[in-house]
Structure 1
């Protein structure tokens, strides 16, 4: 015998209620606790007090029709757990359809009602209700599990981000400590010399020491700027603000800035005036929308790398190629090049080639350039051979959809 279910009969006919009770209590497959109500008012009152599994509802009642009772049950959410079987004295297909639309589980005609028919109908609606309950609980559990999985994924992502940030901070401290040591030592040595022997030095030597201080200070400032910029990218605080740009004049201005830096007396002495910038432009470069600040970061880092890793001098080429929907520019040098097996990792922060020797640097230039390119919705790649130089290619859409 299965568990006892609560069943409510709402019918104004006492004889019909006795018949339903007798039929159901003879069911060998299901036991019931049966409640009775002779009016809609009494039936609704019982529904407010007791949670019923099944309601046998007469279609015609003195104070309300069965459909009106259904509407009130639904409106007051009193049939949350109950399955309703409508009973009527006459078979009416239109009424049956209307009742089903209102949420009735079954529709039975009193004249044709037999014990096995009523018993089977009630058991079926109970089974259907149980199945719906199982499905609802399953869906709720699935939603709960999905929510838990999402929370777990978010937690893991936050943990990975925190670990990555901690690793970045640790690497940043190591880089700053290491990269600051040499230029700082040069600044201190030059300052000490000027302080102790400045009056004995001629003007040209004094100027040389001042240029050393200025050059090393600029290098240290660039180091700090790179770290701050990359930290901004890592913290997802970078903003992409596109506007129309005349790329020819934009890059011409940046080329002039680099030429001026190369021609200052200290830099010229260090490079023996052997670096020469070449600027070439082809195709349709007009109609480009981009972020000038981010483009400047890309250009400065690529040109700086090309100059720095060409210690023997030579031409540094900058080519701008315009197309209908995109622009391509690349920086090419004839410097030390990059080992093939290390090229893939060079766009990661703090990654440097194994052949850089004593050439200073943080390994952030290409990483910064890559983020700036990706914010434009573009792509950056490189080609290099050890001892023969490097070419870094940037492809940008004229109108980014990012």
Structure 2
């Protein structure tokens, strides 16, 4: 309503004399423009409310067609947001007080009314009604808010909780929390510290916000965010949010970032390793080639052969490295295609040893158990055993022999390779099968760190297991156990072959 608008008043009064007096009081002030509609019966008043807009109702409690609190009830039903000022006699003052409790904003006792009292009461009723509407809207907003909202007294007992607050803690009925203490939602070890931190902040800033862990009614912990404000007349208001999903998302993001950092680091290390591994044999090849080009015609065949052998070894080293990287790129779950054929394992192992053993590092082979022909993929088995035996020789340094045992069991076969070399540090043992990872004690020994990763992948493709036992400077024992199918069993399953 603007300054120049009329204040629309509905006056319900069956006494013409009283109605005239009230209108005269309103006319005695020039601060407000009043427009008064006078009716004598409640029925007519309800019709007016249906057709016209008013700012306030002045109503007698004793009307020809209604009396006492019935009048207020019907008016409040017809116009629930419209302020009502009750007009009553001195003897009915108790009823007037009850009318205020039931929705009227104020009351005036006839015979005690003057201009000031009437105008004050009208303005008070309008303002009080406006504030009640605002408070009602706020109350509804709080009740339906998705955020948990609670009011606590000075002893931190709940005096109000909205539905969202109780649901966050797992309660079906908000009333179950009333008069209980806030501390029931926190572990005993954190109650004193958390409350102390909050109270200190409330004393200094009237406000505290933070994250903590709360417990639902079923004792399930969850991440929560709290905002607590000090109320003017004591107590606090608490806003609660369940941030478990956000925390999980943050954790997943951190994990993804960590994986990205590790991948970047792995890529950097891989490039460095490959560059080094290729540069060394290429340098050897280059030097040997240039030397032969310049001096081959002056040297003896034996001396030239030494350079040729170096070139061949360099090419073989690069070929092995390329093969390993190709295997790493193509292998993986359900990617390797196995082609088992009947194998005489003893003969297979002895032929493999012949290509790897040296006078400095003899490989001592022994077969145990009931030797028989079985089905395995020879290409995959050669790759596995070549990597393991080569590592055993390389990391033995000057420590001598390597033991290689073939152990037959009814349903599996085990390949056991033991060396007495530099061993593997304890802190490196859980990282052995990570591609490109090398032990901290390998020094300048050549290697890419992908051999054992390749071995593990192919062992798992064969549905086998690999176990490593090692001690620093005492050697390493590796056992590979593979399930086997006997030639006779395969033949029985495929009699037409």
Alignment match, 2:346: 248
* TM-score (norm: length of structure 1): 0.53
Unaligned runs of 5+ in 2: 1-252, 487-497
**Aligned mates of 2:264, 2:392 — CA distance in 1:** 31
**Aligned mates of 1:375, 1:290 — CA distance in 2:** 12
Question: Would you say the 8 A contact 2:334–2:461 is kept in 1?
Answer: no
Question: Would you say the 8 A contact 1:287–1:398 is kept in 2?
Answer: no
C-alpha RMSD of the superposition: 2.7
Alignment match, 1:308: 394
Deviations 1:355-402 (A, max 9, x none): 1111111111111111111111111011112212111111111249xx
Q: Which has the higher contact order (CA 8 A, sep 6+)?
A: 1
Return the offset for 1:202: 2.7
Of 438, 445, 463 in structure 2, the residue corresponding to residue 359 of structure 1 is: 445
**Aligned mates of 2:380, 2:392 — CA distance in 1:** 19
Alignment match, 1:376: 462
Aligned pairs for 1:179-198 within 5 A: 179-198=277-296
Aligned pairs for 1:279-294 within 5 A: 279-286=365-372, 288-294=374-380
**Aligned mates of 1:277, 1:371 — CA distance in 2:** 25
Report the secondary structure of 1:297's partner residue: helix
Question: Would you say the 8 A contact 1:281–1:320 is kept in 2?
Answer: yes
Deviations 1:147-184 (A, max 9, x none): xxxxxxxxx9xx99x97998876654332212111111
- Relative to structure 1, the CA distance from residue 241 to residue 166 in structure 2 (aligned partners, 3 Å threshold; closer, same or farther) is farther
Which structure shows the higher helix fraction?
1
Report the secondary structure of 1:176's partner residue: helix
Return the offset for 1:247: 1.3
Question: Would you say the 8 A contact 1:187–1:212 is kept in 2?
Answer: yes
Alignment match, 2:276: 178
- Work out the number of aligned pairs and report it: 231
**Aligned mates of 1:287, 1:225 — CA distance in 2:** 29
**Aligned mates of 1:334, 1:229 — CA distance in 2:** 29
Of 386, 390, 401 in structure 1, the residue corresponding to residue 476 of structure 2 is: 390
Tell me, yes or no, if structure 1 residue 297 matches structure 2 residue 386: no
Alignment match, 1:92: none
Aligned pairs for 1:59-208 within 5 A: 171-208=269-306
Unaligned runs of 5+ in 1: 1-155, 263-272
Deviations 1:74-131 (A, max 9, x none): xxxxxxxxxxxxxxxxxxxxxxxxxxxxxxxxxxxxxxxxxxxxxxxxxxxxxxxxxx
**Aligned mates of 1:235, 1:170 — CA distance in 2:** 26
Alignment match, 1:347: 433
**Aligned mates of 2:322, 2:373 — CA distance in 1:** 34
**Aligned mates of 1:278, 1:327 — CA distance in 2:** 18
Question: Would you say the 8 A contact 2:413–2:484 is kept in 1?
Answer: yes
**Aligned mates of 2:332, 2:306 — CA distance in 1:** 39
**Aligned mates of 1:235, 1:392 — CA distance in 2:** 23
Report the secondary structure of 1:347's partner residue: coil
Q: Which has the larger radius of gyration?
A: 2
Question: Would you say the 8 A contact 1:285–1:327 is kept in 2?
Answer: no
**Aligned mates of 2:302, 2:349 — CA distance in 1:** 35
